[in-house]
């Protein structure tokens, strides 16, 4: 299971919002916030309304100037006329833009009429029946304004209501891209989402917050672009983002790892003993460890002999299947 650093709480979200928006709205940052009039792109929010994380566009009068795509030796969007920008005040901490903001009027993707209450988030829809979550896009850092002192990344939170049920992130970008748009991708495997969700809802004991409900199921995905270093760290530079996509891959078998007793050893015969013990409603082996849930293939069925077949096949370095070979 991927364990990530704690994230700062996001403020400014209307108490009524519990749903999600059908698609990834304004992933190219071309539209300006309809209700606030900027500086944020529509569908994106800076925690604390911090205007150092904002929309930039060709001809906005800010520095450095953005020029139309194709202008030689100039800073330009990758496509279109706008980008997202995250700067720094020079003393570390968190700066970012997130989809975790309330959508009042883009339910029909046009903002020509209000959404019905309770208002949804701009977070794109998460389909519990589908597979891995994939976020792709581009970032750019000018050579004369490199990221120094902190790092840039993307965080993905699968949620139900206001609660995170599973989280992953990449936080490893620094320096510069010589002003070139550079692809970035983060993949959140469905098996890892399931593992964290099971921990946090208590299906697997002693490995999560045990604070997430079993129903309703997770149904939206918060996406955050951010930069971070400890408070007081000297930081400088600016990063730009453009042309992002959100995708869930088709569903398929999504097995857990074979370290069933979570002792750090893979392909350990004791994991077979532990699996069969828990499957028979016995203790984890050794009893001091915390074993995974017995739904090894994550098909929703408990005490299913197919989980034994799937586990033994994976233990033999075979593929993940719903019921062995």
Domains parsed from the chain with CATH numbers: 19-248 (2.60.120.260), 253-325 (no CATH)
Outline where 39-176 has alpha helix (H).
Answer: none
Each residue of 211-242: pLDDT tens digit? Answer: 998 899 999 999 999 999 999 999 999 999 99
User: So what's the pLDDT on residue 94?
Assistant: 95
Each residue of 268-323: pLDDT tens digit? Answer: 999 999 999 999 999 999 999 999 989 998 887 888 999 999 999 999 988 888 88
**How many Å is the maximal CA-CA distance in the chain?**
69
With a threshold of 0.85, does the pTM exceed it?
no
User: So what's the pLDDT on residue 278?
Assistant: 94
257 burial via Cβ count (<10 Å: 0-12, 13-18, 19+): middle
Taken in order 273, 278, 282, 288, is the CA torsion positive or negative?
Answer: positive
Place of tokens 């570390």: 92
237 burial via Cβ count (<10 Å: 0-12, 13-18, 19+): buried
> Which comes out higher in pLDDT, residue 1 or 31?
31
Task: Mention every residue, 6+ apart, whose C-beta is less than 8 A from residue 289.
Answer: 261, 262, 263, 274
Report in angstroms the alpha-carbon separations of 211 from 160, 180, 205.
12, 43, 12
Angstrom distance (rounded) from CA 230 to CA 5: 12
Closest residue by Cα to residue 40 from 60, 56, 25: 56
User: So what's the pLDDT on residue 47?
Assistant: 86
Q: How confident is the model at residue 196 (pLDDT cuts 50, 70, 90)?
A: very high
User: So what's the pLDDT on residue 55?
Assistant: 95
Closest residue by Cα to residue 109 from 60, 59, 43, 170: 43
> Which comes out higher in pLDDT, residue 204 or 246?
246
Mean pLDDT to the nearest integer, 178-194 = 93
Residue 116 has pLDDT above 50, yes or no: yes
Each residue of 160-172: pLDDT tens digit? Answer: 988 999 999 999 9
Residue 1 has pLDDT above 70, yes or no: no
Q: Fill in the DSSP letter of residue 316.
A: T
Residue 19 has pLDDT above 90, yes or no: no
State the CB neighbour count (10 A cutoff) for residue 289: 15
Residue 18 has pLDDT above 60, yes or no: no
Residue 96 has pLDDT above 90, yes or no: yes
Residue 8 has pLDDT above 80, yes or no: no
User: So what's the pLDDT on residue 157?
Assistant: 97
Place of tokens 């951010």: 226
Angstrom distance (rounded) from CA 263 to CA 259: 7
Cα-Cα end-to-end distance for the chain: 26
Residue 12 has pLDDT above 60, yes or no: no
User: So what's the pLDDT on residue 297?
Assistant: 86
User: So what's the pLDDT on residue 108?
Assistant: 66
Q: How confident is the model at residue 80 (pLDDT cuts 50, 70, 90)?
A: very high
DSSP secondary structure string, 123-159? Answer: EEB--TTS--EEEEEEEE--TTS-EEEEEEEEEEEEE
């Amino acid at each position: 299971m991927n364990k990530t650093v704690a994230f700062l709480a996001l403020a400014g979200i209307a108490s009524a919002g519990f749903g999600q928006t059908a698609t990834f709205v304004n992933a190219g940052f071309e539209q300006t916030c309809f209700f606030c009039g900027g500086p944020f792109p529509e569908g994106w929010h800076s925690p604390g309304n911090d205007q150092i994380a904002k929309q930039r566009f060709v001809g906005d009068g800010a520095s450095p100037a953005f020029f139309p795509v194709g202008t030689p030796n100039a800073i330009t969007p990758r496509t279109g006329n706008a980008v997202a920008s995250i700067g720094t005040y020079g003393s570390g901490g968190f700066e970012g833009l997130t989809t975790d903001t309330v959508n009042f009027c883009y339910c029909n993707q046009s903002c020509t009429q209000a959404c019905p209450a309770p208002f949804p988030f701009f977070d794109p829809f998460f389909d519990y029946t589908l597979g891995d979550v994939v976020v792709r896009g581009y970032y750019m850092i000018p050579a004369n304004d490199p990221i120094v002192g902190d790092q840039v990344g993307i965080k993905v939170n699968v949620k139900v209501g206001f609660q995170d049920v599973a989280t992953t992130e990449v936080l490893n970008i620094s320096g510069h891209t010589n002003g070139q748009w550079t692809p970035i991708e983060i993949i959140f495997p469905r098996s890892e989402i399931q593992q964290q969700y099971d921990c946090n809802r208590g299906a697997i004991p002693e490995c999560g917050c045990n604070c997430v409900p079993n129903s309703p199921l997770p149904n939206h995905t918060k996406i955050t672009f951010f930069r971070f270093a400890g408070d007081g760290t000297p930081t400088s530079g600016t990063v730009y983002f453009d042309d992002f996509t959100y995708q869930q891959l088709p569903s398929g078998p999504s097995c857990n790892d074979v370290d069933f007793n979570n002792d750090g050893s893979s392909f350990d015969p004791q994991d077979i003993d532990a699996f069969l013990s828990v499957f028979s409603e016995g203790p984890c082996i050794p009893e001091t460890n915390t074993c995974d849930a017995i739904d090894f293939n994550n098909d929703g069925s408990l005490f299913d002999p197919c989980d034994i077949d799937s586990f033994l096949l994976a233990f033999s370095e075979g593929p993940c299947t719903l019921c062995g070979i």
